[in-house]
Structure 1
Amino acid sequence: MLKEDWKVVKSIYQKGIDTGIATFQLHAPEWQTWDKSHLQIGRLVILENGIIQGWAALSPTSQREVYKGVCEVSIYIDPQAAGKGLGTLLLKKLIEESETHGIWTLQSKIFPQNTPSLALHKKLGFREVGVREKIGQRMGIWYDNILLERRSLLF
């Protein structure tokens, strides 16, 4: 993913936000804000016929040195491209990329209602750690999150 991809990436992100089951965010941020909160590695887009159809990125879970190999996954596919296996390809590549850079644990926090995302993560080796009940509000409604993690077999 390059800075010049942001307009399309942001649009896909907003479509995910608008589903109400992808994130607590209500609006996709501007590039500078997003850029500061994500690692420089693992920023990926997936193309179909030369058009960005999805993106994935990693963000740190902590600034503490001991957790430098633990990252959170963000992955979004344009709804018009859903069901084509692009999410699987993208998440596989993100896992490879993370391991290349010494990441030993990937985490995702997913709304229970987001069954496609839960299925994708479990298919690629993420396990359910637990449910974080009423962890946050979105538009005044409390939501649970399912915490999933994937430990690399390389470390």
Structure 2
Amino acid sequence: MREIEVRSMRPEDWKSVSRIYLEGIATEHATFQTDCPPYAAWDASHIRECRLVLLAGGVIAGWTALHRVDPRWCYRGVAEVSIYIGEKFRGHGLGYHLLTELCRQAEAAGYWTLQSTVLQDNAASRALHTKCGFRLVGRRERIARDCHGRWLDTYLMEYRAAADEPVGYKKL
């Protein structure tokens, strides 16, 4: 594989990020979403820190970002992961580099739990999360319908910070 780099996502990356997101949507295994929101809506719904892109040979090949699970103060260190790898870059281990760096940065920023909801047909995503230290904590049966009306299960995967109190954790 070409030289890879992980860096912070910039607003000007949105064209590539949204294209990769649409490729993930098209698989019908990555998300229940059926369309990509405009940048302003996406930006408002994702945590500003820990937004990353992975470049392979200078081309954005994947991205990851966090979404707050619950606005209450007690859950301030818990976030949900979104991670997408571009269609032509899948199967080369790039997701591992991206998700590992996200976990490192999230822990440094004070997040103690990262969770991912993985659709039942996405074995590759379950394997990636497991390889990166996530564990299966539950299966939600018939939780939602896909775009064809078919009931699907999801797996809840969880990553816990190594330390009792992550580096960036601030007691109030």
TM over 0.5: yes
Match in the other structure for 1:131: 139
Alpha-carbon distance in structure 1 between the residues aligned to 2:16 and 2:58: 12
Secondary structure in 2 aligned to 1:52?
strand
Alpha-carbon distance in structure 2 between the residues aligned to 1:154 and 1:43: 22
Q: Deviations over 1:34-70 (max 9, x none)?
A: 0011000110000011110000000100000000000
Match in the other structure for 2:51: 43
Alpha-carbon distance in structure 1 between the residues aligned to 2:158 and 2:53: 22
Deviates more, 1:131-140 or 1:20-29: 131-140
Q: Deviations over 1:106-136 (max 9, x none)?
A: 0000012101100000011111011101111
Structure 2: which 5+ residue stretches go unaligned? 1-8, 165-172
Match in the other structure for 1:25: 33
Measure how far apart 1:143 and its partner are. Answer: 1.0
Matched, 1:144 2:153: yes
Q: Deviations over 1:21-44 (max 9, x none)?
A: 100100111101100110001100
Secondary structure in 1 aligned to 2:71?
coil
Larger of the two Rg values belongs to structure? 2
Structure 1: which 5+ residue stretches go unaligned? none
Computed over aligned residues only, the root mean square deviation of the Cα atoms, in angstroms, reads 0.7
Matched, 1:85 2:93: yes
Match in the other structure for 2:102: 94
Match in the other structure for 2:163: 154
Alpha-carbon distance in structure 2 between the residues aligned to 1:133 and 1:115: 16
Match in the other structure for 1:8: 16
TM-score, length of structure 2 as denominator length: 0.88
Q: Percent identity?
A: 48
Matched, 1:105 2:113: yes
Number of residue pairs aligned between Structure 1 and Structure 2: 155
Alpha-carbon distance in structure 1 between the residues aligned to 2:49 and 2:140: 28
Alpha-carbon distance in structure 1 between the residues aligned to 2:151 and 2:11: 34
TM-score, length of structure 1 as denominator length: 0.98
Picking from 76, 99, 102, the partner of 1:68 is: 76
Deviates more, 1:129-138 or 1:37-46: 129-138
